[in-house]
Amino acid sequence: MDLPEPPSRTLLVVQAGISNLVDNKLVADPRKGQIEICLDRFALVYFSWTERTEEGPSQRGPDFSFCIEPHHWVTFELIEGRRVWVLKYPAARQQLFFWAQEPDSGQDRHIASTITEYLNLNAAEEDEPSAAAATDSGVAKAIEALERRIDEIEAQPGHEAPQLPASIIAKHLASMLGSIQVPPQQPGTVAPAAAASSSAPAVDAKALAAALGNISSGRVQMQRAPGPSLADVLTPEVIIPLLHQPGVLERLAPYLPEEHRNEAALMELAASAQLRHQLNVLGSALQTAQLDPSQFGLSPNGYTAADFLESIQKKVDEEGDVADSASR
Amino acid sequence: MGDNWTTIESDPGVFTELVTEMGVQGVQMEELYALDYESLQAISPVYGLIFLFKWRSEQDDRTAVTESEYLGKVFFARQVITNACATQAILSVLLNRSDIQLGSELTNLKDFTAEFPPDIKGLAISNSESIRRAHNSFSPPQPIVPEESRLADKDDDVYHFISYVPVDGALYELDGLKPGPIRLCEATEENWLKKVGPFIQSRIERYAQNEIRFNLMAVIRNRTGVLEEELASLEARRAALLSTSEEGEQMEVDSGKVSTEDLASIESNIVRVQEGLHEEAAKKKRWHDENVRRKTNYVPFIFQFLKLLAEKGQLQPIIERAKKLPGKD
């Protein structure tokens, strides 16, 4: 009996910890971790949990990982009123609990339904030959199944397509794109998918198919555009003299808290840890494609800090042109 | 945000406002850098201490006090949600003190949960809408998922909080991940600050060896209140001294001398207390300003600022700078 190949294609990563049922009470394991749903080269679905450390997912690999057998139904449900999910795998008599470590509880339900979809990719296939099928057809079949399921969900009247948080879509696309070695500053490949904000369906099947089709092998990595973060560029030394210019306070005052609309408070803000923190968050969100610059009305350009700044310059130049021609 | 508890910064200014928003009066938090008795005495009255550190699993063979022994005497709650652990640690101090004005919200919570087992107490805290609202008010209303900031600065890890508080004749360590309170030693209101040092010190030494980050906060009485009382009593003593020396012209020369010395020391104490009050006011102002900034979403500000620079032709040098600077890795 051959051991299954290690899972190699990551479909989804969700931050979650383990909860244990002790004397009928759920006790959260305080470790940080992540759930990964992977496809192996035979298109078998794997569920794994890996501890996260400061450096990211533990180098030891998953703490546990198991394969979902084809034709078996598995559910991943949100427990009402709590940020806890339960995975039920009746065939294997498995019942596992996980507590959400994703920051936004509003997505818990979507995550649950998306994971359920993924875990059941092979559940409905009636006449599947043995898993020792050729690699390529395995992947193709998984994509087919995936597309079919998405179509099914979308076709259901009144059924809202499960919407994944943009951050998770971006993460799993980034992981796929990362593994096919697409540099993130090539916008053509990633932009349409990353732009799939809250209004888009859970998975852009075509983008997924394109990504999966090209995968050779992959490990999950949060892809980050190269170069400095916005916070490294806009340091207090850089911004204080610029904010100090006449007219700047008047122009920016509407975007400041009321009690801080004065020169002294503006200078304090420029040097503050709180602004630094928000620049860091914004910078990281842009560099990891978790924030879509089109939210600011910017045209897609790339994901580095320089790309972001350049597209602001471009937008301002364009607006200037429009204003010029209008005044003519 | 629904049921979510956001992570909040471990900062005395944040915790002080948090406590105030929960309706507690006359309490503030102070970060501690030394554990000796004199340092603790200087900020007394101290209601309790909170030790926070980056959590890691470790062996602990101490046995917790059994429920029947502490229920109704020591308020102990199991931790059910990670992000609320700071709030929970603060509550573990506040709800174990009879000399704090808790306000109606926390008084109700305390009374309501008094006979509950620790895990239900924890649930009651996590289900309290007003506590959660106070806790969550510190996350800025911004559209960005702040999760990637953890990748950006790795400080934001799983922190754990342990409270030290004197209750019912003993010093207790209250750790929401333990099954019950740990009774450390006998202690009274008067001597617990002398006794608590070594317990925390041994923890610090253990974590310092392993390069685990930690810090220590004290839950204390509002400094402004303490200093104002001190000032009032000094001024009353000064007034009393002045009036006795005026009517005491015929008093013996010796006692007159003594009162001039007293007067000088009272005067210098008054100056010291007034300086303390000024410092305290400046600190509270700084805390307030920082909290206002924490609650503000500056993304529109940043964006407008960059647009303004682009209009003025001042963005280009910054773009060049962004291209030249090295990345994080």
Q: Which residue has the higher pLDDT, B250 or A179?
A: B250
pTM value is 0.62
Name the token pair of A20.
Answer: 């244990």
pLDDT of residue B62: 85
pLDDT one digit per residue (tens) for chain B, 329 residues: 335 677 677 889 999 999 999 999 999 999 888 888 888 988 999 999 999 887 766 778 788 888 888 888 899 998 877 667 788 899 999 999 999 999 999 999 999 998 898 989 988 888 888 888 888 887 665 545 444 333 333 344 567 889 999 998 999 999 988 889 999 999 999 999 999 999 998 888 877 777 667 788 999 999 999 999 999 999 999 998 888 766 655 454 445 555 677 889 999 999 999 999 999 999 999 999 999 999 898 988 999 999 999 999 999 999 999 998 887 55
Contact status, residue A212 vs residue B310, Cβ threshold 8 Å = no
Q: Does B2 touch chain A (CB under 8 A)?
A: yes
Which of chain B's residues have a Cβ under 8 Å away from the Cβ of A309?
306, 315, 318-319, 322
HEC string for A136-194: HHHHHHHHHHHHHHHHHHHHCCCCCCCCCCHHHHHHHHHHHHHHCCCCCCCHHHHHHHH
B85 among known catalytic residues: yes
Q: Does B292 touch chain A (CB under 8 A)?
A: yes
Per-residue pLDDT of A47-80, as tens digits, reads: 999 988 877 888 788 888 888 887 778 888 887 7
pLDDT band at A91 (very low <50, low <70, confident <90, very high): confident
Domain ranges for chain B: 12-141+155-221, 224-295, 298-329
Which of B135, B160, B278, B288 does the annotation list as catalytic? B160
* SS3 assignment, position B28: strand
Phi/psi for B321 (5° steps) reads -60, -40
Q: What is the mean pLDDT of residues A290-316?
A: 84
B160 among known catalytic residues: yes
Q: Give the residue from B147, B123, B56, B7 showing the smallest Cα distance to A34.
A: B147
* SS3 assignment, position B164: strand
Among A105, A252, A288, select the one facing B4 at the smallest CB separation.
A105
- As a whole number of angstroms, the distance between CA B134 and CA B121 comes to 18
Q: Which fold has domain B12-141+155-221?
A: Ubiquitin C-terminal Hydrolase UCH-l3 (3.40.532)
pLDDT band at A11 (very low <50, low <70, confident <90, very high): confident
Contact status, residue B29 vs residue B18, Cβ threshold 8 Å = no
Q: Residue A326 above 70 pLDDT?
A: no
Contact status, residue A228 vs residue B327, Cβ threshold 8 Å = yes
- Comparing A14-18, A81-85, B187-191, B198-202, the range with the smallest average pLDDT is A81-85
Which of chain A's residues have a Cβ under 8 Å away from the Cβ of B297?
278
Distance from CA of B4 to the nearest CA of A (A): 6
Q: Residue A40 above 60 pLDDT?
A: yes
Q: Residue A325 above 80 pLDDT?
A: no
Place of tokens 């948090």: B18
- Comparing A143-157, A177-191, B304-318, the range with the smallest average pLDDT is A177-191
Name the token pair of A67.
Answer: 């394969």
ipTM given for this complex: 0.82
Whether A105 sits inside 8 A of B321 (CB atoms) is: no
Residue from A274, A276, A287, A291 to probe the interface with B (highest B Cβ count within 10 Å):
A274
Whether B147 sits inside 8 A of A102 (CB atoms) is: yes
pLDDT of residue B37: 87
Name the token pair of B210.
Answer: 């392993």
- As a whole number of angstroms, the distance between CA B277 and CA A60 comes to 55
Among A226, A252, A306, select the one facing B301 at the smallest CB separation.
A252
Distance from CA of A192 to the nearest CA of B (A): 19
Largest separation between any pair of C-alpha atoms in chain A: 80
Crossing angle between the packed helical segments B299-311 and A305-327, to the nearest 10 degrees: 60
Q: Does B293 touch chain A (CB under 8 A)?
A: yes
Q: Does B214 touch chain A (CB under 8 A)?
A: no
Region of B316 on the Ramachandran plot (φ > 0 left; ψ -120 to 50 alpha; else beta): alpha
Per-residue pLDDT of B219-232, as tens digits, reads: 999 999 999 999 99
ω before A90 within 30° of 0 (cis)?
A: no
Which of chain A's residues have a Cβ under 8 Å away from the Cβ of B318?
233-234, 238, 309
pLDDT of residue A60: 80
